[in-house]
Every structure is written in structure tokens, then in C-alpha cells.
A and B are shown apart, each in its own frame.
Chain A
């Protein structure tokens, strides 16, 4: 079973993205192959240099940086959404792979789930 968890919600506005990240980490903890895909406003998760202190939240940057260490196989960003939000590769966290979100991508996974 290969799973793809898709985050299409921006960070900090709701807990749906964080809870989707927990799903991915949980799959990895049980040795299930899993990748994370960020699309739509969700690509803002991948910005470098986030400071969430002013909204009294923890930055998700460290959680994402740790995801590959905990066994998440890939952090994928939809190319179209990156363009829409003005994100070039240099603006993104390390280890992020820019890709095209479509049936060719999702077809490679047995289990695909959206955040919220």
C-alpha cells in the first residue's frame, strides 16, 4: 500500500493541514510508504522562514523538515500552485520536489486522501 496525503489548505488558518500531516506521520510510523503533496493554497506550507509566533502557533516548518526523518518518502509541491503563489524552488524548504498534480501522479498510489 502506497499512500498520498494531499494538503490543499493554507497553514495556521485551521487544524486540517496539521491533522493531515499527523496522518502521514502515523502511516510512516507503521512502516507504510507515504508521500505528502501540497497543492492550492497548501503550497504555502512549504515557504522557508515561517514565523507563527504572532498568531501563537508553532511553526510547521520544523515538523515538515522532520517528516523525511520519520519516514515520509517525499514532499511534493504542485507546480501550478507554486506559480500562482509566486514560489520559486529557492523559496521552498529543502527536500521539496516540484511536480504536476494530476491523475498521472495520483495513479501511482493505492490510497489518496485530502486534508479536510
Chain B
């Protein structure tokens, strides 16, 4: 009897399209790092990722102002590089982002804030982006803080 798992050749989603929703914050949860590992494995297996959606505390991942010590992985930077290299959309929910102090230039001007801190290529948009993924038949995987 073999103990190895059969190789995955199909997913329930059409053409193996995934959407990743990250709700756990970097450095207080494992969610962003686990999601990045999943995303790299998915692309390596020739699956497609239509978008990354940051929700709740997950929006902190899109901050341009996080500066971990130089011998630690900068999760925001790593995610931004992955999205840019693979032309994958990274979207932070606008309501979650504003609540937690993550703003782009237009929101900075709208609310008269002293600065903006959204890291490119992340964008800020509404929950409609997530609805679009869910309704399109993409397989949506959630990365929560756990525990």
C-alpha cells in the first residue's frame, strides 16, 4: 500500500482559478505567509490566481510603512513583488482599510489626511471585487488568523 497522495490534476474551480482572501494581519498571524506559500505553489502547478483580496486585519499587508528588522522577511514587500512579477491584482477592501489607517492618495485627499501609505501594486476597492470572484466560479480560499 502506497502512502503517497495522488497527484492533484484538477480542482473544483473552472480551469483551476483561485482567489485568495487574506484576513489575518502580518506579524500577528501566519495568514499572509501561508497564503504566499499557497500562491507560489498554485502558480507552480499551472493554476491561475485572479486576485488577492485583503479584508479585515489583512489590509495591513498592503502598508508601505512596515519595516521589519533586516534579517526578517518583509511580508508586504514579498507580496508586492509576487503580485507585480505575476501580474496579479492585489485589492484591499476600502472599508477595512480606512478603518485601520491604510489609505491611497485619493483617500488621503478626500479625508484631509497627512499622508498615504498604500504599497504598489496594491489597490483599494470595494467588496464588489470579492463578490465578482465568488460569483465567477473562482475557487475562493480564505486565510484567517486562526486560533
Contacts and interface: CB of A to CB of B under 8 A. Distances in A.
A32 B135 contact: yes
B83 interface: no
A19 interface: yes
**Number of contact residues on A: which range applies?**
10 to 19
A65 interface: no
Interface in A20-70: 22-23, 26-27, 30, 32
Given A16-B56, A111-B140, A32 B131 contact: yes
Contact of A1 (B21, B23, B134): B134
B145 interface: yes
A27 B134 contact: yes
Interface residues of B, number: 19
Given A30-B128, A32-B134, A22 B23 contact: no
A114 B142 contact: yes
A111 B95 contact: no
Given A19-B56, A116-B145, A30 B140 contact: no
Contacts of B137: 1
A3 B56 contact: no
Interface in A69-90: none
A105 B41 CA distance: 32
B40 interface: no
A97 interface: no
B60 interface: no
Contacts of B142: 113-114
Given A1-B135, A15-B56, A113-B140, A23 B127 contact: yes
A116 B135 contact: no
Contacts of A111: 134, 140
Interface of A: 1, 3, 15-16, 19, 22-23, 26-27, 30, 32, 111, 113-114, 116
